[in-house]
A and B are shown apart, each in its own frame.
Chain A
Amino acid sequence: MKTFDYERASSIDAAVRAGGRFIAGGTNLLDLMKLQVETPDKLVDISRLDLDRIEERDDGGLTIGALVPNSDLAADPRVIERYEVLSRALLAGASGQLRNKATTGGNLLQRTRCYYFYDTAAGCNKREPGSGCEAIGGFNRIHAIIGTSDQCIATHPGDMPVAMRALDAVVVTQRRDGDKRRISLGDFYRLPGDTPQIENVLDAGELITHIELPPAPAGRQFYRKVRDRASYAFALVSVAGVVDVQDGRIASAALAFGGVAHMPWRNPAVEQALVGQAPSTEVFEAAADALLRDARGFGSNDFKIPLLRRTLIACLRDVTL
């Protein structure tokens, strides 16, 4: 590990002015620092800031402090009762030890698990812009099938952000100059394009302070994760959903997908194919067609296209029939 300066921030204002890389749980950042994939000059320890509470909002939603551990968020009775998809997604991720340490804000900022991103001897445009993408034409079983570019086919590895995308969560931040802003999770992440090293819209020094959940949507909630082993593995594909059936027709649907793109993926055309329809295999297939219209495999990950199709259809069948 390269050495670094360390500063424990005493306040949010001090943290954003400190001019370093934020660390809280550290479960992803320290792992990458050991491999020298990440080499920050300075760490700003935000773990003692007063951002570890989950609070009711006037509109019936919740405000989650960025430092709430994944474990606590998953077990919160309000989250279990109103946002089951979020609890389920959190519990599907990592291990008990990691969930105890990993924070809500940090989970949003997880880096990809692309093998070539981790291997400092390999070309990777995300780790070292301009060095190429060895995943294209290489081992790419875990890689993206939607929204890729010729520069990067990495996925966002998280589960929690997929559920939050289906729930229309909002990221609240504070910038270095003290300004606060609210960013819809749908606007938070970026596709790789020509700059895969830029993964979200945060400015340098901008700190996630809270995540807001709007009031719980109507309907049944689910999170389905398909992976190589039953526990403690990243998703090959995952589906987070909230689907409401009224009088035999799908009244509303919010669906987000993990393991398939550079960000938690959501496509309004998928939901439009469902809303107003009576649940049927034909309708579910039309939704899957909309989702996979522009999907593309890279060899080892070709299987993800039929896998995502079948997983979506199975989820829709379970939740509506």
Chain B
Amino acid sequence: MRFTINGKSYEADVDVRTSLLDLAREHLGLTGSKKGCDHGQCGACTMLVNGRRINSCLSLAVMHQDDEIVTIEGLGTVENLHPLQDAFVRHDGYQCGYCTPGQICSAVGMLDEAAKGWPSHVSSDLSQVSLDDAEISERMSGNICRCAAYPNIVDAIREIAGQQPKVDA
């Protein structure tokens, strides 16, 4: 099977049962994406497939042979961080860091969805979207942080979304 991940072409001979997550981690050495629950509940495995965030653990590799796949390794490097990676560092948007690659890939996809005007469950007007803290939390609810770094994760994402920090009452 042939795959395109982070703009690079890979060939791998894998069992038909292999998930996209296991393909990256176990066969291609791309261990940035993490396996948390392996059932689509925690979001640690989030990748971008054709620009959209998905749970790679609930995806068969064989079904994604013609897709453009991006993992955390494709977003930035240690020398050249993606703006969201940089914001997570500055806002301390993690403790143990296990969920962070999924959080960041998810946030990249989420900001793109918001830029397209996609509403969320908490949007009072479905045709008018503005990313306040409630919107960010709702849209990121598919990413669990066991350390509960949520306030700082929201801070990091809000900064990159270009929102003003919420003023305390």
Residues of A within 8 A of B (CB): 1, 3-6, 8, 23, 26-27, 30-31, 34, 43, 45, 47, 71, 74-75, 77, 80-81, 84, 87-88, 91-92, 94-98, 100-101, 230-232
> Within 8 Å CB of A3, what residues of B?
15-17
Instruction: For residue A101, give the distance in angstroms from its CB to the closest CB of chain B.
Output: 5
Instruction: For residue A225, give the distance in angstroms from its CB to the closest CB of chain B.
Output: 9
Q: How far is the CA of A30 from the CA of B38 in the complex (A)?
A: 10
Q: How far is the CA of A43 from the CA of B59 in the complex (A)?
A: 13
Minimal Cβ-Cβ distance residue in B for A229: B141
Q: Does B119 contact A (CB under 8 A)?
A: yes
With contact pairs A6-B62, A31-B40, A87-B119 given, residues A101 and B54 touching in the complex (Cβ less than 8 Å):
yes
Residues of B within 8 A of A (CB): 15-17, 19, 38-40, 43, 46, 52-55, 58-60, 62-63, 106, 109-110, 113, 116-121, 123, 126-127, 137-143
> Within 8 Å CB of B52, what residues of A?
71, 100
Most buried by B among A84, A87, A97: A97
Contact A97 B119 (CB under 8 A): no
Q: How far is the CA of A86 from the CA of B123 in the complex (A)?
A: 14
Contact A100 B63 (CB under 8 A): no
> Within 8 Å CB of A81, what residues of B?
127
Instruction: For residue B166, give the distance in angstroms from its CB to the closest CB of chain A.
Output: 18
> Within 8 Å CB of A45, what residues of B?
62-63
Q: How far is the CA of A26 from the CA of B106 in the complex (A)?
A: 19
Most buried by A among B38, B63, B106: B63
Instruction: For residue A200, give the distance in angstroms from its CB to the closest CB of chain B.
Output: 23
Contact B121 A96 (CB under 8 A): no
With contact pairs A3-B15, A80-B119, A101-B58 given, residues A96 and B63 touching in the complex (Cβ less than 8 Å):
no
> Within 8 Å CB of B54, what residues of A?
97, 100-101
Which residue from B17, B19, B117, B142 sits with its C-beta under 8 Å from A97?
Answer: B142
> Within 8 Å CB of B121, what residues of A?
88, 91-92, 231
Minimal Cβ-Cβ distance residue in B for A87: B126
Contact B17 A1 (CB under 8 A): yes
Contact A95 B142 (CB under 8 A): yes
The 9 tightest CB contacts between A and B, nearest first, are A95-B142, A231-B141, A75-B118, A232-B141, A91-B121, A80-B126, A100-B52, A97-B142, A97-B55
> Within 8 Å CB of A230, what residues of B?
138
> Within 8 Å CB of B110, what residues of A?
96
Q: How far is the CA of A97 from the CA of B108 in the complex (A)?
A: 12
18 extra interchain contacts, Cβ-Cβ under 8 A, other than A47-B63, A97-B109, A232-B142? A6-B16, A8-B63, A26-B59, A31-B39, A75-B118, A80-B119, A84-B126, A95-B43, A95-B143, A96-B106, A96-B141, A97-B106, A98-B58, A98-B142, A100-B54, A100-B109, A231-B121, A231-B141
With contact pairs A71-B113, A231-B121, A231-B138 given, residues A97 and B126 touching in the complex (Cβ less than 8 Å):
no
With contact pairs A47-B63, A71-B113, A100-B53 given, residues A27 and B118 touching in the complex (Cβ less than 8 Å):
no
> Within 8 Å CB of B120, what residues of A?
91
> Within 8 Å CB of B63, what residues of A?
8, 23, 26, 45, 47
Contact A4 B16 (CB under 8 A): yes
A sample of 18 cross-chain residue pairs with beta-carbon separation below 8 angstroms, ordered by A number, consists of A3-B15, A23-B60, A23-B63, A34-B39, A45-B63, A74-B118, A75-B113, A75-B117, A75-B119, A80-B127, A87-B119, A91-B123, A96-B109, A97-B53, A97-B55, A97-B106, A97-B109, A98-B58
